[in-house]
Structure 1
Amino acid sequence: MQVKSRRLFTLAGCLALATLLLVAAPAGAQDDAAPTPRANPLFRDRFTADPAPLVVGDTLYLYVGHDEAQRDEMFNMRDWRVYSTKDMATWVDHGPIMKATDFRWAKADAWASQAIEKDGRFWFYAAVEHDDTHPGKAIAVAVSDSPTGPFVDAKGSALITNAMTPKGTHSWEDIDPTVFTDDDGSTWIAWGNRQCYIARLKPNMIEIDGPITEITPPHFEEGPWLHKRGSTYYLTYASLDRAAHRDEKVSYATAPSIQGPWTYRGELTGSGKYSFTIHPGIAQFKGNWYLFLHNAALAIGDQHGAIGRRAVTVEHLQYNADGSMKPVVQTDEGISVPPPR
């Protein structure tokens, strides 16, 4: 997230689904009219995926993958980009911040990422395809003095390799990192595909501190996101009930501690339009909570949305009095309309 899919075991099925999506997405999925500010998708000049927000002062930065799949490719992702906004309406495109191959030990696949601020520096964690010295997906870490880069490899080697999670069932389980700093200053990283793992980071932010623990909640597929509201910890993720659904949805679990125990709370939102994958990113910005996602409803020229051509969206996120999250309906209007009561 090259044609090598994160789901090699369903390669034929995904190719068939890609063809179906090309048919299903109408040519006018997004027209050329000037978009309404705050409406979905957020960016219409290129395909973007896996949104990861970071709030720094009065600015929200949004880190995204860049889909470049052509024809029947499933994923072709070479670099990561970042956008910023001060009002959730006007976005500044800061361009590419890194390529997957800027990690010299990596050979491809600028998949999902997240950045975090710690001690005045900005740490960027991302999934890539490792070279043949450590086959499979791996998690890299880069660093910058600015949220917009330039970012450079902070370690010179992978933070997490496939060999570090030997109980997993496939070579692409070590993807989609989410990072979170708790109130005591400790920073944690969670990640995974099919299995969800969590570990503490050392203060240097480039080494694992202690054991890697599996915390896989029901129907976990990928794309975990950690955040905290009040005294409650949230693990939001792309879920897939394989017995009942074809496409990923978003589900979540909560816990009284970052180390659990985690309690499944059900689905937060349905599937993204025309999209097999979905990827949540959550942030509180200027008093409001937002849920960032992606779908495959954007058309650019003669390229329609598809498995490897997605578009980032945003919706209002609200909580009930008991701390549970209210179900979110994905819309074209996005946050251009007030949140539902």
Structure 2
Amino acid sequence: MPSLRRLLAPAVLAAALPIPAAHADAPIIQTRFTADPAPLVHDGVVYLYTSHDEDDADGFKMLDWRLYSSTDMANWTDRGEVASLKTFPWANQANDAWAPQVVARNGKFYLYTPITVAGSPRNVIAVAVADTPAGPFRDVLGKPLIAPGEGFFDPTVWIDKDGQAYLYWGNPDLWYVKLNRDMVSYAGPITKVQPRITDYQEGPWFYERKGRYYMAFASTCCSEGIGYAMSPTPTGPWTYKGPIMDHDTRATGNHPGIIDYKGGSYLFGFSYELNFALTPIHHERRSVSVAKFSYNADGTIPNLGWWDKASAPQIGTLDPYARVEAETIAWTSRIKRDRDRPYAWTPGVITAQDDRGSVYVTRTADRSYIKVAGVDFGTAGAKTFRASVAKGTPDAKIELRLDRVDGALIGTLPVGAADQWREASAAVSGASGVHDLYLVFRGGNAASLVDVDYWRFDR
């Protein structure tokens, strides 16, 4: 996990650090506060749905759900907002866009999430549907799927081998119901799991693997780690197996998501690392991380400790000769301004979404940067760099550096004044082999030097 000194002064320290093997940084998203990770593997891509803590959140302040995608577990592309409280006009519009999960069935994608009904403090579970993983999702019922109840939140869904879908949820009790094949209605009773699973608190993640059923969860508050139980059937009995991550004072909350992808197994969860990089005061501003692990021979899961002891190596490399969305990021220098410590701030990029849903990079202040991990330039190397840019200031430029923020300079793209989107290009040299690529923004004191939509190299 990046230390505070790396977060606050990357340029000063980079020259003294060895070049690491490409891996997923922790947290994997730095441009926003994200929580409640819900990964979905579809057509060879990991789609990571998250809830979103607002920058000024003290307690929970959550208005929408966001999507990130990756094919290498190290570089994550911001796909923008896929749903919000406005998706459910009958819901409380001021808050409560809590933990989601998306599942695919019959060519559709179903988003399950807890919200509160306008005028009621009690949670319900809602469902929305989309034609693609990136949405937009639309409300199909106009009402809750699961009616109001105490602790009715954090839904998790699994479609079993026989086609039966199960919906679990709940804090502090765990509940389930069988979904119909339409995925927007259910049959049979809502059942409470009894006895309560040892150390269970909330945030269940239900799945099957090699004939064994797993229930991972946020362990008893507070602080919360990640625990799990196993069962021979999809409805129990559940046997507690222990922690996947220990209770840790650095995280009052948690929420697991577990997948298999390209021959590896991965655990997603969250911490408060970026919040505490800004302020010693606890806020509900969380950040998602991922770790690779291997199941034991008996199907049990090892204890991974905490995010400072676990990570995920990059799978393969990134092709720089195909269009790369600028919001594809392994790490960025962004540190948000915070009301408690307004001086603890360094410039850094964020992503934005236009009216058409297109995501791009902005707030590129001087010395801010984007790191893209494991870029394979090949043996012949790159000759030209191109980028789609807009809103450039006269002195704006993008330095292209290898392996470190002050590493070998392979080219500089002069941006210049630009209002509308246009493609700018620059010659490069010395770009061959596999390297981490740093796009370093330079030029003047503007809050944002240039917006960037996409980039690519030419041979």
TM-score normalised by L of structure 2: 0.61
Structure ranking higher on relative contact order (CA contacts 8 Å, 6+ apart): 1
Q: Contact 1:271–1:278 (CA<8 Å) still a contact in 2?
A: no
What is the match of residue 200 of structure 1? 178
Q: Contact 1:28–1:299 (CA<8 Å) still a contact in 2?
A: no
In 1, the alpha carbon distance for the partners of 2:107 and 2:247 equals 37
Structure 2 portions without partners, runs of 5+: 12-19, 316-459
Q: Determine if the alignment matches structure 1 residue 222 to structure 2 residue 208.
A: no
Q: Contact 1:136–1:161 (CA<8 Å) still a contact in 2?
A: no
Q: Which has the larger radius of gyration?
A: 2
Q: Which moved more, 1:311-320 or 1:27-36?
A: 27-36
In 2, the alpha carbon distance for the partners of 1:122 and 1:305 equals 38
In 1, the alpha carbon distance for the partners of 2:64 and 2:314 equals 32
- RMSD between aligned residues: 2.3
Higher strand share: 2
Q: Contact 2:23–2:311 (CA<8 Å) still a contact in 1?
A: no
Q: Determine if the alignment matches structure 1 residue 236 to structure 2 residue 213.
A: no
What is the match of residue 8 of structure 1? none
In 1, the alpha carbon distance for the partners of 2:155 and 2:177 equals 11
1:220: Cα distance to partner? 1.5
What is the match of residue 54 of structure 2? 68
User: 3-state DSSP class of the match of 2:312?
Assistant: helix
What is the match of residue 142 of structure 1? 128
Aligned pairs (5 A) from 1:83-98? 83-98=68-83
1:230: Cα distance to partner? 0.4
Change beyond 3 A, Cα 1:44–1:70: same
In 1, the alpha carbon distance for the partners of 2:114 and 2:253 equals 16
> Which whole-Å deviations, capped at 9, do the CAs of 1:255-312 have from their partners, x for residues lacking one?
1110111111122211356220011000001110000000001149856784410100
Spell out structure 1 runs of 4+ moving beyond 6 A.
Answer: none
1:326: Cα distance to partner? 1.1
User: 3-state DSSP class of the match of 2:273?
Assistant: coil
Give the partner amino acid of 2:56. Q
Structure 1 portions without partners, runs of 5+: 1-25, 164-170
In 2, the alpha carbon distance for the partners of 1:102 and 1:315 equals 32
1:206: Cα distance to partner? 0.9
Q: Which moved more, 1:282-291 or 1:303-312?
A: 303-312
Q: Which moved more, 1:298-307 or 1:250-259?
A: 298-307
What is the match of residue 274 of structure 2? 298
Q: Contact 2:72–2:314 (CA<8 Å) still a contact in 1?
A: no
Q: Quote the sequence identity (%).
A: 38
Q: Which moved more, 1:193-202 or 1:94-103?
A: 94-103
Q: Determine if the alignment matches structure 1 residue 281 to structure 2 residue 257.
A: yes
Q: Contact 1:315–1:330 (CA<8 Å) still a contact in 2?
A: no
Q: Contact 1:298–1:304 (CA<8 Å) still a contact in 2?
A: no
Give the partner amino acid of 1:30. L
TM-score normalised by L of structure 1: 0.82
In 2, the alpha carbon distance for the partners of 1:305 and 1:121 equals 42
Match of 2:67 among 82, 90, 96: 82
1:219: Cα distance to partner? 2.3
User: 3-state DSSP class of the match of 2:297?
Assistant: coil
Change beyond 3 A, Cα 1:271–1:311: farther
Q: Determine if the alignment matches structure 1 residue 311 to structure 2 residue 287.
A: yes
Q: Contact 1:106–1:129 (CA<8 Å) still a contact in 2?
A: yes
Aligned residues, how many? 299
